[in-house]
Amino acid sequence: MPTIRFLTSGCAVDFPDGDDVNMLRVAIRNECEVPYRCASGNCGTDRVLVVEGAENLSPPRKRERERLGALLDQGYRLCCQTYASGDVSVQWDPAQKALDDRWVDKALPAAANERLQRRWLSESDTAGAERAAEAD
Amino acid sequence: MTELLSKDDFRAALEDAIKGREAKNASFSLAWANGELSRDHFARWAENHYHYVGPFADYLGYIYANTPDHATDAKDFLLQNMYEEELSDVRHTDLLIRFAEACGTTRERVTDPRNMNAVTRGLQGWCYATAMREHFAVATAALVVGLESQVPAIYRKQYPPLLDKYGFSEEDTEFFDLHITSDEVHGERGYQIVLDYADTPELQQRCLDLVRAGAEMRFSYTKALYDTYVASDLGPAGTSKDADDADLLSLGTG
């Protein structure tokens, strides 16, 4: 029976032969303390360094490739985007945050913020904000 | 009277409540996975699917309104789920419309409710009614465990043929790729909410009833897509029929 070892928290989870399982789902279900936030491959909070068993992980998906970039080549994967089909061991920094500042300090990413501004603010409000920004 | 199930037994019962009713085994899903559909069929699927999943954040909003202040983790989960549907990146329905446009239909046709069939309208109405009227743990069981948690299994079967057999691009099909992974986590967190807050025998039984009903609704919706849009081109569910009939018998509707 294959095992996922979450080394940083000391958690080990077996799963049935022949299955492939989402790494973050397994971590959440078994309280393995992998940090995460969006679970959609956007923020990168759930990145882990694969210590052993990289060959037993699914190929990187589009969002994971875009989010991790060079980190992928260094052996990192996003738990939310990755399925395991055999033994694997991973570790992470328990205090790690998102990869992008917008996920750490701001409630909304830029594109969403723009959409909300268009929806909620009148043109004159928006123009006023733009003028203020220009003055700064 | 039924006794309170342990969390492990309750989880197993919830999983069992979906078995035999999985939408991945309905005729439309099987024809999709077998490479038998045309872009016209996918366009009709998108014109229906929009009206089922488009209001998902609305459904969750009604559940949120019924969730008591002390259930902070449940409220956080619902908010996070709504945020991801609508704002965290590209709006999920916009990804669906992108796929629909690649199939030859238009945003206007997709968003026009007159283009959904009656069964889709029934599924949408059931989702609204469940979200508004049921205890928040029961509604979460129905919509997140019964419906949303099925998504990864469905799309993991349907996404590869979109690229390999039907010739869509990764860009066209991002809607599916995104949901394969994000709904794994939504489903798991949904399970946790239900396991924690359905804390009486009555609530547990109601959850199981609604999970069964939700899975049946989604199965029927998926089967109706075949019957309405595909059967006239490919004939009544052919190679898919055995699995389809077996499942219908298990639902008591075959």
Quote the pLDDT of residue B236: 85
**Given a cut of 70, is residue A108 above it in pLDDT?**
no
The DSSP letter of residue B142 is I
Model pLDDT for residues A21-76, shown as the tens digit of each residue: 999 999 999 999 999 988 788 889 999 999 999 999 999 988 889 889 999 999 99
Q: What are A57's strand-pairing partners?
A: A84
pTM confidence score = 0.81
A110/A41: higher pLDDT: A41
Model pLDDT for residues B77-96, shown as the tens digit of each residue: 898 888 877 777 778 889 99
Q: Which residues of chain B have pLDDT under 50?
A: 239-254
Asked whether the beta carbons of A21 and A84 are under 8 A apart, the reply is yes
Closest residue in chain A to residue B92, using alpha carbons only: A40
Quote the pLDDT of residue B221: 93
pLDDT confidence band for A131 (50 / 70 / 90)? low
Q: Does B58 touch chain A (CB under 8 A)?
A: no
CB contact (8 A) between residue A61 and residue B181:
yes
Whole-angstrom distance, CA of residue B104 vs CA of residue B95: 15
Contact residues, chain A, for B184 at CB < 8 Å: 22, 24-25, 39, 80
Quote the pLDDT of residue B37: 95
Quote the pLDDT of residue B240: 45
How many residue contacts between A and B have a Cβ separation below 8 Å? 61
Please count the CA atoms within 13 angstroms of the CA of A24 that sit on its side-chain side: 28
Quote the pLDDT of residue A100: 67
Contact residues, chain B, for A111 at CB < 8 Å: 89-90
Tell me the DSSP string of B110-138. HH-GGGS-HHHHHHHHHHHHHHHHS-HHH
Asked whether the beta carbons of B63 and B140 are under 8 A apart, the reply is yes
Quote the pLDDT of residue B106: 96
Asked whether the beta carbons of B107 and B41 are under 8 A apart, the reply is no
CB contact (8 A) between residue B188 and residue A25:
yes
Asked whether the beta carbons of A89 and A51 are under 8 A apart, the reply is yes
Quote the pLDDT of residue A63: 83
CB contact (8 A) between residue A63 and residue B177:
yes
A123/B164: higher pLDDT: B164
Asked whether the beta carbons of B128 and B185 are under 8 A apart, the reply is no
Contact residues, chain B, for A25 at CB < 8 Å: 184-185, 187-188
Q: Name the average pLDDT for chain B.
A: 88
CB nearest to B84's CB, from A40, A61, A81: A40
Give this complex's ipTM: 0.78
Quote the pLDDT of residue A116: 58
Whole-angstrom distance, CA of residue A66 vs CA of residue A46: 15
Backbone angles phi, psi at A73, to 5 degrees: -70, -25
Q: Does B187 touch chain A (CB under 8 A)?
A: yes
